[in-house]
Amino acid sequence: MDIAKSFFGNRPHEGYSGKEDFNSQHVETAVSDDEADLAGLGEISEGISIMSDGLTPSPGGPFSALTPSMWPQDILSKLCQQPEDPNSQPEYRFDEFGFRVEEEDGPEQSSNKLLGIPFVEDPQHRLQWVAHLEFSHNKEVCDLTWDKVDVRLPRTEKLRSMVHAGIPHSLRPQMWLRLSGGLQKKLSSEMSYKDIVKMSSNDALMTSKQIEKDLLRTMPGNACFSHLTSTGIPRLRRVLRGLAWLYPDIGPNPSSGVPCRYCQGTGMIAASLLLLMEEEDAFWMMSTIVEDLLPASYYSSTLIGIQADQRVLRTLIASYLPDVDHALKEHDIELSLITLHWFLTLFASVVHMKILLRVWDLFFFDGSLVLFQTTLGMLKIKEPDLKVLENSAQIFNALSDIPGDVEDVECLFESVGGIKNVKFTSGMLHAARRASSKRREAIEEMKKKESEEANRSKTTLETVNKLEAKKRKLLQQAEEEASALQTEIDLEKK
């Protein structure tokens, strides 16, 4: 830890955790302090308590769902202060994840069901998970600590059903690492995150300049990323720079003219992860997403991988949602203009954080298959509305609004199961991707042949034209010589 501190400095919110700290974390206090300790603290403001090392949110209060090192102490301090005018109301408040919520959007308006549901972990639900880990994955008969839980959890139907019901929030960081393979990648990497940060710290790199431009655009509505001094900005900068250095194929070629989607896509995912876990773990999760969970070239300059998935999605819609498919074809709507961004950010930019957590629980368990299932589920929910809309603009807007309208994640998951005859598996997804890739290759080969044929035809035409020109020149010369000869003959006759 001393080495890590010397590298990252002694700033209180840098979020780096060393391997010793990681291994010593106990499942019973995986993220937050013991509830009994919190209960004994004196409340100094609604939703905020005070501890020896600073202010801490109370369960369900502002910032309470964040990883502790991301708690913005300056904002918590302001929230503790009593306003000069006791009747005044703040222009906005913050939810459990640090997102700014306008007062007019409050739960009293019933404008958003999610805002009215406190995000508080169910102790019984957490206890069930701890018991499962203790009996299924603990290597020794002793107190359960994370270093005694398998690095990569085996896929069982029991675990699948538990993940489908939701992972307790305090266990999510460590569970996501183990379900996705992120922890395995972290421990087996030949280069440490510290070394990657050091190698990628060059401010002069083109990617560094682009990342710097995008830092404040990534999640401006969240207190952890709204200003350059916010707790999450230096972490996000290092994670994105590290990814750009480790995976140089990510992002656009500056000379290609392709808009930069690297920071906007991976940046949104990274920022969401940083809200919930420490910086190093978030980096290895991002590495796993880019390298293992998504197909190759998802974030390349050509976006080949994600474009292929958009073609697969259209095939699935034609097979399982014929009414949606009919509406898209009838009104000539290019669905990828809407859904490509959903896939690019793994829904992080389009759904409420409470919905995103449950979707990501499944994503880190089942991989990119979940992106298709979630999208089909959303379209299924909206299918009755699409059938009665009259024009392309209405349908396009309705489709664009779908993710933001999702308020019940259980309803979303049920809608996937309610799609008639849907039996889409990971194996079928791989087959569909291969078929899409072969179609693309066949089309490219056909275009190449057409281009070669056109070039040959062009070459042949140019040759004919040259020969004709040469022939005309020779005829002209012959005529001129004949005319000159005739002139000489005529002169001799005289």
pLDDT digits (tens, 9 = 90+) for 201-228: 877 777 888 889 899 999 999 999 999 9
Q: CA–CA separation, 319 vs 279, rounded Å? A: 42
Q: Where are the domains of the chain?
A: 151-420, 425-482
Rounded to the nearest 5 percent, the helix, strand and coil shares of the chain are 65, 5, 30
Which one-letter amino acid corresponds to residue 362?
A: L
- Predicted confidence band of residue 445 (pLDDT cuts 50, 70, 90): low
Query: How is domain 151-420 classified at the CATH fold level?
Result: Cyclin A; domain 1 (1.10.472)
Read off the pLDDT of residues 5-39 as tens digits, 9 standing for 90 and up: 333 333 333 333 333 443 444 444 333 333 333 23
Query: CB atoms < 10 A from the CB of 217, how many?
Result: 12
pLDDT tens, position by position, 308-360: 899 999 999 998 999 999 999 999 999 999 999 999 999 999 999 999 999 99
- CB-based burial, 133-147: b 16+ in 10 Å, e otherwise: bbeeebeeeeebbbe
Q: What is the pLDDT of residue 457?
A: 61
Q: How is residue 67 written in tokens?
A: 């990883």
- Closest Cα to residue 352, out of 398, 402, 310? 402
CA 15, chain centre distance (Å): 21
Beta partners for 45?
48
Answer left, alpha or beta for residue 247, where phi above 0 means left and psi between -120 and 50 means alpha. Answer: beta
Beta bridge partners of 57: 48
Q: Report the predicted TM-score, pTM, of the whole model to 2 decimal places.
A: 0.77
**Residue with more model confidence, 118 or 446:** 118
Q: Which residue has the higher pLDDT, 83 or 297?
A: 297
Query: Contact 66/275 with Cβ under 8 angstroms?
Result: yes
Instruction: For residues 154 and 128, give the distance between their C-alpha atoms in angstroms, rounded to a whole number.
Output: 18
- Give residue 442's pLDDT: 59
Question: Is the pLDDT confidence value at 256 over 80?
Answer: no
| pLDDT on residue 113 | 63
CB–CB of 214/266 below 8 Å?
Answer: no
Give percent of the chain above pLDDT 90: 43
Q: What is the pLDDT of residue 367?
A: 92
State the sign of the Cα–Cα–Cα–Cα dihedral 227, 228, 230, 236.
positive
CA atoms within a 13 Å half-sphere pointing along the CA-CB vector of 47: 21
- C-alpha pair distances (Å), 406 with each of 108, 347, 351, 374: 19, 12, 7, 11
* Nearest alpha carbon to residue 238 among 270, 285, 264: 270
Query: For residue range 449-488, what is the model confidence (pLDDT) as tens digits?
Result: 666 666 666 666 777 777 778 777 766 766 666 565 556 5
Alpha helices in 138-276 (DSSP H): 157-165, 172-180, 182-188, 193-199, 206-218, 233-246, 262-276
> To the nearest whole number, what is the mean pLDDT of the chain?
78
DSSP state of 257: -
Q: 76 falls in which pLDDT band (50, 70, 90)?
A: confident
425-432: long-range contacts (C-beta < 8 A, 24 or more apart)?
425/369, 426/366, 426/367, 426/369, 429/312, 429/368, 429/369, 429/372, 432/312, 432/315, 432/316
pLDDT in tens, 397-411: 999 999 999 988 999
**Beta carbons of 317 and 325 less than 8 angstroms apart:** yes
